[in-house]
Amino acid sequence: MSLIFYGWGEPIYISLMIFSIIFNYISTLFIHKYKKRKKLSKKIFIITLVTDLGMLAFFKYFGFIINNINTLFGLNIYFEKLALPLGISFYTFQIISYVVDVYLNKVKVQKNIIDFGAYVTMFPQLVAGPIVQYNDISLQLKNRKENINQFSEGIDRFILGLGKKVLIANNIGLVWTIIKTTEVANLSVISAWIGIIAFTLQIYFDFSGYSDMAIGLGKMFGFKFIENFNYPYISKSVTEFWRRWHISLGNWFREYLYIPLGGNRVCLIKQFRNLFVVWFITGLWHGASWNFIFWGLYFGFFIVCEKFFWGKRLSRLPKCISNLYTMIIVIVGWVFFDSNKLSDALNYIKVMFGVSGNAFIDNAAKYYFYSNFILFVIAILCATPIIYNFHKKIKSHFNARGAIAMAFVRIFILFLSTSYLINQSFSPFLYFKF
Amino acid sequence: MKYNSPRKKYNNIYIKSLMLLFLFFIFGVMILNVIVPDKKFSAQENRNLKSKPKFSVDNLLYNKFTSKYETYIADQFILRNFWINVKSRSEIISGKKENNDVYLGKDKYLIAKFKKPDEESFDEKLKAVNDFSNENKKVTKYIMLVPNKIKVLEDKLPKYAPVENQLEYINKFYSGLDKSVKTINVYDTLNKNKNKYLYYKNDHHWTTQGAYYAYLEFCKSSGLTPKDANDYDIKKVSNKFYGTLYSKAGVTNVDSDIINVYSPKKHEDLLVNYVEEKKKSSSLYNSSSLNTKDKYSTFLDGNHPLIKISTMSDSSKKLLVIKDSYANCFIPFLTSHFNDIIVVDLRYYSDDIPTLIKDYNITDVLMLYNTNTFFEDESILNISDYE
């Protein structure tokens, strides 16, 4: 069933996924079979890893690599742009985590190809995470009980995720789209901040919305996935931010990259190297382009500074100050994330901090502010645990009416989301152009 | 533990009611979607709705079957208009003042945004009109660029809405034109009368009254004596007009528009020849349009590539109008001043204009466009033989 879901997006790449499943299934069986013969098993392991990463590199980074070769050597190699197979970054990492764990004997090899296939293609989180490590759910694949409680919790979670994506993310994204296309020369300082804050909220609700929907769907089928986001925007340090943002990715990199490199149990220089590598790759994973790599290293820099220089002092500051510090760094980071060229990002940041001579506030800024005010308030509230805590309070004073009311609230969110989804095909024929 | 069990009990009620409502919603929607037959046409959006795409392996792999199917489901979703209106209503509640590039202005005016033209396109159009002017020196040339609501009714825009100044672009274009082209300024008169019903609230066109004021300006520029408003019977032909912007913005809280026709008290015989369609009519208006969504097309039956209007006028002048749909309710005012009026829409007409001028013995040429369409549409470039 998952394959149908995956194939829905782009039918041709289903064969790539099936190849991947079969290939990795067979290799891991071999790795397991020859685990007494260390050398052979290691060779197979390396070949498997290289193939898996190679496929990812080919589909995702081919263009990027060629572009850089062209720039470095002044060549002009032409290449055809390949469409990115859906979710390849996610499922490749899931497969790799499995292969490594089999090699290190952390998990039992999955002898049933259907079950293995199910792990790789599990559609709830195939497209946008969370990245599920095999050892987290190997038991659940066979022994899980779907029951009504879980099913209903899954529905609950799914609806919340849907609302986050369709009601909040999509709409606040419109503000960023408009501001992003304004010429930098005409952008006021306030508009620039409104714009990037809109993006900050958009990407959180987009990503965590998908994760919620995945977790919710998983629950409906009896799977318990780990949380992927834990209110990252209340973080009091950059280090904390990355423990609350895209948690499954952070875990994966820690488990399969940082710790194998030695983590922090090595000499200082090697620690710097490890952190550099991890943040370089984190950036690169997000996209095949230098601005993503820069974004990753940008965070790496702050994490290093917090670890070795001002972490302790930071934790002694009042919460609002340290949250403000974190948020400014994160928000500026998003400018790099969502700009095509480094120079565009820098120009935008210059406007934000008033060093480009633009007006502080203008009519456009006022318009964006008041016409989206309620949306911003709702979004910011939902980005904090306030609503969740309020919800918990209601639950503890539970009565029958409250319960039914909460259920209606959920269905209302579902109802509203449906209307927004249908509206996406709303395209009136602009006959006056003809 | 005494408190645990009432908690569990109420938690149970929550879970069960959520599930029931959810399943009810999902299945209800699914069943209704299957039962209710597909619709062909959406009046609100003024387009055909997608029908079920055919399944075949070929279609699946190469013809984007899956995305077509998604569009099909969205297009044929039960109570589609209801859902679309839920969305626009909730957006209005949240304070949003625009949708789909249409501002929701004061007094329920829907105002389309103006996209400023890029320099290259602007210069190309300037050159095209100037070349046309040079290639046809014997005719008297007029140009009328009509400002849209976004300029004339700028007081009705939502507060602080960031807009480009349309008038600036009109004036800049006028000043770049060859001196032999007479530029007609209608902004001043429209601005002076802006408290009158000059533009439709839910449509991007001007009303017949707005066109009348422009007619007065045209007469000033061409030396003709305009007919007085009292020479006309103003007939209300529709009070339920929901135009293009109503479709585009997707809002339902609107006032319907009224279409008036200025019918000359002194009856005029005329012949309207839709040349390429080989159809003839004795009226400038098509009354059956008033029963459709697109009521504005009652004027000259909408847009056609080439229309020839023969009038009873004593004048020896023959006018060529190169236009967009704004001219459709303007042209009826000219029937007493010109012996023949040839109407060309460059979006549909593919032959060249100088031949037209020669064949019909044109003496005067009027280029009439609304500013939004003029700068967005490229068809004006066909006016001259420009490579």
Look up the ipTM and state it: 0.76
Question: B97: which chain A residues are within 8 Å (Cβ-Cβ)?
Answer: 367, 371
Mean pLDDT of chain A: 83
* Structure-model confidence comparison of residues B193 and A84, the more confident one: B193
Unique residue bearing structure tokens 């009873």: B312
B115 touches chain A (CB under 8 A): no
Name the H helices within chain B: 4-35, 57-62, 65-75, 80-93, 119-135, 149-152, 166-175, 187-192, 208-222, 244-249, 353-359, 371-376
Q: Collapsing DSSP states into helix, strand and coil, what is residue B367?
A: strand
Give the pLDDT score at A146.
65
Q: Averaged over A241-250, what is the pLDDT?
A: 92
In a mutational test of the A interface, the residue from B5, B18, B88, B97 whose CB has the highest number of chain A CBs within 10 Å is B18
pLDDT, mean of residues A61-70: 79
B248/A428 Cβ within 8 A:
yes
In chain B, the residue whose alpha carbon lies closest to the alpha carbon of A424 is B74
Where is pLDDT greater, at B335 or B88? B335
A371 in B contact zone (CB under 8 Å): yes
Lowest pLDDT segment from A260-269, A396-405, B178-187, B224-233: A396-405
Whether A119 has a pLDDT exceeding 60, the answer reads: yes
What backbone torsions phi and psi does residue B117 show, to the nearest 5 degrees? Answer: -75, 145
Q: Is the pLDDT of residue A25 over 70?
A: yes
Q: Which residues contact A241 (CB under 8 A, 6 or more apart)?
A: A232, A235, A326, A330
> Over 70: is that where the pLDDT of B9 sits?
no
Helix boundaries (H) for A34-87: 38-56, 62-73
Token pair in block for residue A355: 């060093």
Q: Min CA distance, B329 vs chain A (Å)?
A: 15
Confidence of residue B300 (pLDDT cuts 50, 70, 90): very high
Q: Is B63 on the interface with A (CB under 8 A)?
A: no
Instruction: Report pLDDT digits (tens) over B141-169.
Output: 999 999 999 999 999 999 999 999 999 99
One-letter amino acid of B252: T
Question: Which pLDDT does position A45 carry in this prediction?
Answer: 84
Contact status, residue B144 vs residue B219, Cβ threshold 8 Å: no
Q: Check CB contact of B46 with chain A, cutoff 8 Å.
A: yes
Residue A242: phi and psi, rounded to 5, are -75, -5
The residue extents of the domains of chain A are 2-142, 148-382
CA distance B66 to chain A (A): 6
Of residues A86 and A221, more confidence is placed in A221
Chain A residues within 8 A of B66 when measuring between CB atoms: 8-9, 11
CB distance B342 to B360 below 8 Å? yes
Structure tokens at B331: 């042209």
Q: Which of A54-58, A366-370, B233-237, B261-265 has the lowest mean pLDDT?
A: A54-58
- Is the distance from CB of B241 to CB of B329 less than 8 angstroms? no
Nearest CA in chain B to A220: B19
A286: annotated active-site residue: yes
Whether the per-residue pLDDT at A10 is higher than 70: the answer is no
Of A50, A22, A31, A29, which Cα lies nearest the Cα of A104? Answer: A31
Per the model's pLDDT, the better-predicted residue between B187 and B92 turns out to be: B187
Judged against a pLDDT cut of 60, whether residue A365 lies above it is answered with yes
Report the percentage of chain A scoring pLDDT > 70: 87
Those of residues 25-44 in B touching chain A at CB distance below 8 A are 25, 29, 44
Task: Give the Cα separation of B234 and B197 in Å (integer).
Answer: 14
Q: What is the mean pLDDT of residues A183-196?
A: 92
CB proximity A394 to B under 8 Å? no
Per the structure block, which two tokens stand in for B385? 């033989």
Least confident window among A387-401, B312-326, B349-363: A387-401
- Contact of B96 with chain A, judged by CB distance below 8 Å, is answered with yes
More confident call, A263 vs A145: A263
Interface of A with B in 344-363 (CB under 8 A): 362-363
pLDDT exceeds cutoff 60 at A434:
no
CB A360 within 8 A of CB A188: yes
Lowest mean pLDDT among A201-215, A258-272, A337-351, B367-381: A258-272
| Interaxial angle between packed helices A189-220 and A170-180, expressed in degrees from 0 to 180 and rounded to the nearest 10 | 150
Task: Answer whether residue A330 shows pLDDT above 70.
Answer: yes
Q: Which chain A residues are within 8 Å of B22, Cβ to Cβ? A: 155, 159, 410-411, 414
Task: Give the pLDDT band of residue A326 (cuts 50, 70, 90).
Answer: very high
**Among A182-186, B144-148, B250-254, the range of highest mean pLDDT:** B144-148
Instruction: Give the DSSP letter of residue B262.
Output: E
Which residue, among B142, B285, B325, B129, has the nearest Cα to B219 in the 3D structure? B142
Name chain A contacts of B96, Cβ cutoff 8 Å.
371-372, 375
Does residue A3 carry a pLDDT above 60?
A: yes
pLDDT higher than threshold 90 for residue A312: no
**Per the omega criterion (within 30 degrees of 0), is the bond before A130 cis?**
yes
Q: How far is A323 from chain B (nearest CA, A)?
A: 28
Residues B350-354 have a mean pLDDT of 87
CB burial string B344-357: b at 16+ within 10 A, e below: bbbbebeeebbebb
Q: What is the mean pLDDT of residues A5-9?
A: 60
User: b/e string for B179-201 if b means 16 or more Cβ within 10 A?
Assistant: eebbbbbbbebbeeebeeebbbb
B55 near A CB under 8 A = no
* Catalytic residue, candidates A32, A246, A286, A391: A286
Q: Does this model's pTM top 0.90?
A: no
Predicted confidence band of residue A117 (pLDDT cuts 50, 70, 90): confident
Would you state the pLDDT for residue A290? 87
Q: What is the least distance, in Å, from the CA of A422 to any CA of chain B?
A: 5
Percent pLDDT > 70 in chain B is 87
A132/A112 Cα distance (integer angstroms): 19
